[in-house]
Structure 1
Amino acid sequence: MLPLAVLASSLLPGLLIFLLPERRVALRTALNLAGALAKLVLVGMLLAGVSSGETYVFRHAVLPGLDLALKADALGLLFITLSAILWLFTTLYAIGYLEGAPHRSRFFGFFSLCVTATMGIAMAANLFTFFIFYELLTLSTFPLVVHRGTAKAMRGGSIYLAYTLAGGALLLAGIVWLHHLLGHTEFVHAGIAKSAAADIHGQLRLIFVLLIAGVGVKAALVPLHGWLPQAMVAPAPVSALLHAVAVVKAGAFGIVRIVYEVFGVEFAQSLNLLFPLALLAALTILWGSLRALFQDDLKKRLAFSTVSQVSYVALGVALFGPVGTIGGLVHLVHQGIMKITLFFCAGNYAETLGIHKVSEMNGSGRRMPLTTLAFSIAAFGMIGAPLTAGAVSKAWLSDGAQAAGMDWAVWVLWASSLLNAAYFLPILWRAWLRPRPGEWPDEHIPARGWRETGWLLLLPPLATALATLLAGIFADHPASPLTWAKLIAGREYLGGMP
């Protein structure tokens, strides 16, 4: 029942929050924080149990041969732990960000449903269950994207919904086709498709394309990425949620599940499916970085950065071998930590100084030094500077490319790092070294907290910036994301601990 309890820890507070009147601020905050803290405790119990060899499975028959099934395994827990920790920080940030704003009960209700769907995706034991929670994630994030209710927000939300529902339709088509061929769609170590008869290998290739396209929408693979910059009309906590905790991570996680536990990495390689996936990931990495270069809107620059950075996960999976897999899996965590820091800081600039554009950031580092310090650490992490989480990811991905005999991918990673520097360093130069232009676009000195900004807006990015450093400096610690990624890669390639 522990997987159900993990779901309930966000589902029940969310349903209760929907019923609260706007004036019940203290109770709403208590429910939000109680749910986030309870989820951390429950995820800690799952981690301890799985580490000691326990198995956690919930299964309910919907139709003959079709089960709603949850399981907690090492791969799912990597995603669950990231989401649970970042949900707590995002909740704290959202409470401060939305202070005094309308429709907070609606916002936090859907916010909790979104995290519930993310947990369901991570613990899904088959493609049917994965699809149910995958579409629940779409439906629960749409109200968050359009939360402000402006014409621009509604347009961005409509584009988001069109892309994600189309992706869901492709995913469903692939699932139904696969179920028709194999009789079930369970996630199984080394894949369920490997035992398929040779005469259906052509169909399996088409099914692979459908499944990857279905999850590739949320993973923002080119050319399925068009929704992501448009969704930046959402409030900063929602942008953080989309990029670091839920949506794009769900897409990247889906790619990992499909390659390793639907097809099996060796069978996918035998069908010549991994090399095209690697090329698509490389194209997305370079295209996203190039587009980021030309964005003056800060959140859109960060959005195109996400398009690029999330595809590191797909590239690592497609580099046939354990080293590349470790790089891709650990980047699933590291990118989330770094990107949520950047979006927290972007929200701080917007809420405190009215800054929305890169060209408006001159002198902002001296006005908001702690926020800009956190932004700088995360930006250097994205570039891959030493002692940061990004350096660890890129080192393993580079080594994985060489081990797989795909040296061209090393050049893609180097080019990406140079482009990362080209669109992040000018921001830091403006913030720290350029003089302020005079008056800020729309300055608000908080009534509570430091003069820089409210404390609920400042503590989350400082904490996640610190995590960016700790994940890089202590990468070999037994509790690090890298260690957990090694365990998963060892299971996929060696049948046990590496």
Structure 2
Amino acid sequence: MIPYETYPSAVPLLAVLVSLAAAGLIVASGRRPALRETWTLAAAVLKFALVLGLLPGALAGRAAEVTLFEISPGVALALRADPLGVFFALVASGLWVVTSVYSIGYVRAGGEANQTRYFASFAVCLSATIGVAFSANLLTFLVFYEILSLATYPLVIHKETPEALAAGRKYLAYALTAGGLLLVATAWTWQVAGTLEFRPGGILAGAGAGAGTIRAIFVLALAGVGVKAGIMPLHGWLPSAMVAPTPVSALLHAVAVVKSGVFGVLRLVGFVFGPELMRGLGLATVLAVFAGATVVLASVLALRQDELKKRLAYSTVGHLSYIVLGAALLTPSGLSGALLHLLNHATMKITLFFCAGAIYVSLHKKNVSELDGVGRDMPWTMGAFTVAALGLAGVPPVNGFASKYLLCVGTLEAGQIAALVVLLLSGLLNAAYFFPIVHRAFFRPSRDPHRGREAPASMVIPIAVVAVLSVALGLFPNQFFDLATAVTASVLAGPGGGVTAGIGP
């Protein structure tokens, strides 16, 4: 039994299609920038409104469902807006509104080429992301997951420099290989379980397959989603992709691509394998080890990066594995903390990337070693940067504290002191690679005799909005906490879910 009620509704499909339709309108309006930007903003606002309309049902444990078409008996492309999907879709669609405003200011200020392709690709990416969020089964997830991979490619190579083209090839090699592995895992799951429907407690639980088969499917599926989730050693494409424009980096790190990866991990843990198999076969232990190692190693590598966006990239790799680690704990607080960190990391990291873009547009600086005195030239930008940096280090009242606190409680519930040490060490490493940037910006004299100034208001206002949002979600986390609790309850109450969970058998 699925512990939530499903009801027919076209809203999930409309939420997917609205930005896809906008992409066509953007292309058709290519020679009219104002109209092109209007379509972008209108689609972003409408998409968010459609997803927001699904929130009351999700909080009540109801899931809107629509079948697109049946491929064969028992195999269909279908959408279901269950509580987990609505949670992720709210994050992605809400931040797309802010990113759209920022993008308009960024491309105007920077005089970017290929703006029509840029905005159209952005729209397709968000359409695919909502499709990933609302996928009712593993096949639908795979289809939208691959569309997202292909739609992101034009954004990665946007500048069309040799470096950008090389980064694009690397990204595609990683993404398409991962998609192939996930395809094999999907076909094998169908053969073993006779269904691909996401089910709380896991569709493979009780399927009668041998331990070796389940472990093999797990390795293939984890590699498939682990590339986008940045789990080491599958993370190599992500720092290279920082050659893309800053709003694209924000898309990669906060809104769509990497969040689709960790969302995929959550789907696998809770809805494909389930807590019983994850514990009984030691799969949770494997996942936790990779996640913990990634958290620490990525933080150490971030310390060594002088280029600001690459430092932020390695920070993202580490924080994505906070979410993976929370999923591996299989405890109520661990899962809730993982979900909240999916949201909280998104608002904080998009703030940091927006700030990096503003610095580049205003001062043409991209290295940490060049940021002496920038805080006096760009106080709003660096003030927002400081807020987000504090949050990622786990300092209250920024929202990063709430999710990190829940994750730490989750480690205690699971009796995993080693995981707690990893989280605490990571907080110190976060402070070590973020706070020197803040110190340089505000407490060192500028080396540049030509004083800078803030970026255009169309960039600074979105920066302020996401920084304030990070604080607001830290002070008032209840709405999303309630939704995270509903998701956690459905996973742990599913077949074999239980509520006394830990890592390993």
> Which of 260, 277, 285 does residue 295 from structure 2 map onto?
285
Q: Conserved in 2, the CA contact under 8 Å of 1:244 and 1:337? A: yes
Partner SS, residue 70 of structure 1: strand
> Which of 116, 141, 148 does residue 137 from structure 1 map onto?
148
Q: Conserved in 1, the CA contact under 8 Å of 2:64 and 2:80? A: yes
> Which of 171, 176, 191 does residue 187 from structure 2 map onto?
176
Q: Conserved in 2, the CA contact under 8 Å of 1:338 and 1:465? A: yes
- Following superposition of structure 1 onto structure 2, how do residues 3-152 of structure 1 map, counting pairs within 5 Å? 3-22=12-31, 24-52=32-60, 54-59=62-67, 60-99=69-108, 100-152=111-163
Give distance in 2, aligned partners of 1:50 and 1:269.
Answer: 28
Q: Say what the alpha-carbon RMSD is for the aligned residues.
A: 1.4
Q: Conserved in 2, the CA contact under 8 Å of 1:77 and 1:122? A: yes
Q: Look up the equivalent residue of 1:396 and give its one-letter code.
A: L
What residue number does 1:385 align with?
Answer: 395
> Which of 458, 461, 485 does residue 460 from structure 2 map onto?
458
Give distance in 1, aligned partners of 2:30 and 2:166.
Answer: 28
Give distance in 2, aligned partners of 1:482 and 1:373.
Answer: 27
Deviation at 1:272, TM superposition (A): 1.2
Give distance in 2, aligned partners of 1:9 and 1:52.
Answer: 26
Q: Kindly provide the CA deviation profile for residues 371-409 of structure 1, in whole angstroms up to 9, marking residues without a partner as x.
A: 000000000001000211111111111111011010111
Q: Look up the equivalent residue of 1:399 and give its one-letter code.
A: V
Deviation at 1:20, TM superposition (A): 2.2
Q: Kindly provide the CA deviation profile for residues 442-472 of structure 1, in whole angstroms up to 9, marking residues without a partner as x.
A: x8x7xxxxx5111111011111111111111
- Following superposition of structure 1 onto structure 2, how do residues 251-400 of structure 1 map, counting pairs within 5 Å? 251-400=261-410
Q: Conserved in 2, the CA contact under 8 Å of 1:217 and 1:224? A: yes
Deviation at 1:164, TM superposition (A): 0.8
Q: Look up the equivalent residue of 2:96 and give its one-letter code.
A: W
Q: Conserved in 2, the CA contact under 8 Å of 1:148 and 1:234? A: yes
Give distance in 2, aligned partners of 1:55 and 1:233.
Answer: 39
> Which of 446, 454, 461 does residue 436 from structure 1 map onto?
446
Q: Look up the equivalent residue of 1:169 and give its one-letter code.
A: G
Give distance in 2, aligned partners of 1:439 and 1:4.
Answer: 55
Give distance in 2, aligned partners of 1:488 and 1:21.
Answer: 42
Q: Look up the equivalent residue of 1:12 and give its one-letter code.
A: A
Give distance in 2, aligned partners of 1:460 and 1:16.
Answer: 24
What residue number does 1:448 align with?
Answer: none
Q: Conserved in 2, the CA contact under 8 Å of 1:19 and 1:105? A: no
Partner SS, residue 452 of structure 1: coil
Give distance in 1, aligned partners of 2:177 and 2:386.
Answer: 37
Q: Look up the equivalent residue of 2:87 and give its one-letter code.
A: L
Q: Kindly provide the CA deviation profile for residues 313-348 of structure 1, in whole angstroms up to 9, marking residues without a partner as x.
A: 000000121111111111010000100000000000
Q: TM-score, normalised by structure 2?
A: 0.94
Partner SS, residue 71 of structure 1: strand
Change (3 A) 1:453 1:238: same
Structure 1 residues without counterparts, runs of 5 or longer: 446-450
What residue number does 2:245 align with?
Answer: 235
Give distance in 1, aligned partners of 2:311 and 2:481.
Answer: 28
Q: Conserved in 2, the CA contact under 8 Å of 1:389 and 1:472? A: yes
Partner SS, residue 210 of structure 2: helix
Give distance in 2, aligned partners of 1:262 and 1:13.
Answer: 33
Q: Which moved more, 1:486-495 or 1:213-222?
A: 486-495
Give distance in 1, aligned partners of 2:170 and 2:491.
Answer: 37
Give distance in 1, aligned partners of 2:276 and 2:27.
Answer: 47
Structure 2 residues without counterparts, runs of 5 or longer: 1-9, 500-505
Q: Look up the equivalent residue of 2:194 and give its one-letter code.
A: G
Partner SS, residue 78 of structure 2: strand
Give distance in 1, aligned partners of 2:283 and 2:448.
Answer: 56
What residue number does 1:469 align with?
Answer: 471
Q: Kindly provide the CA deviation profile for residues 277-325 of structure 1, in whole angstroms up to 9, marking residues without a partner as x.
A: 0010000000110000000000000000000001000000001211111
Q: TM-score, normalised by structure 1?
A: 0.95
What residue number does 2:491 align with?
Answer: 492
Q: Conserved in 2, the CA contact under 8 Å of 1:191 and 1:262? A: yes
Give distance in 2, aligned partners of 1:86 and 1:21.
Answer: 24
Report sequence identity in percent. 45
Q: Report how many aligned residue pairs link the two structures.
A: 484
Give distance in 2, aligned partners of 1:283 and 1:203.
Answer: 26
Deviation at 1:19, TM superposition (A): 2.2
Give distance in 2, aligned partners of 1:472 and 1:181.
Answer: 43
Change (3 A) 1:87 1:72: same
Q: Which moved more, 1:425-434 or 1:466-475?
A: 466-475
Deviation at 1:483, TM superposition (A): 2.4
Q: Conserved in 1, the CA contact under 8 Å of 2:62 and 2:82? A: no
Q: Conserved in 1, the CA contact under 8 Å of 2:269 and 2:327? A: yes
Q: Conserved in 1, the CA contact under 8 Å of 2:63 and 2:83? A: no
Give distance in 2, aligned partners of 1:55 and 1:154.
Answer: 41
Q: Conserved in 1, the CA contact under 8 Å of 2:373 and 2:440? A: yes
What residue number does 2:227 align with?
Answer: 217
Deviation at 1:261, TM superposition (A): 0.4
Q: Kindly provide the CA deviation profile for residues 2-22 of structure 1, in whole angstroms up to 9, marking residues without a partner as x.
A: 111101221101111122233
Change (3 A) 1:75 1:55: closer
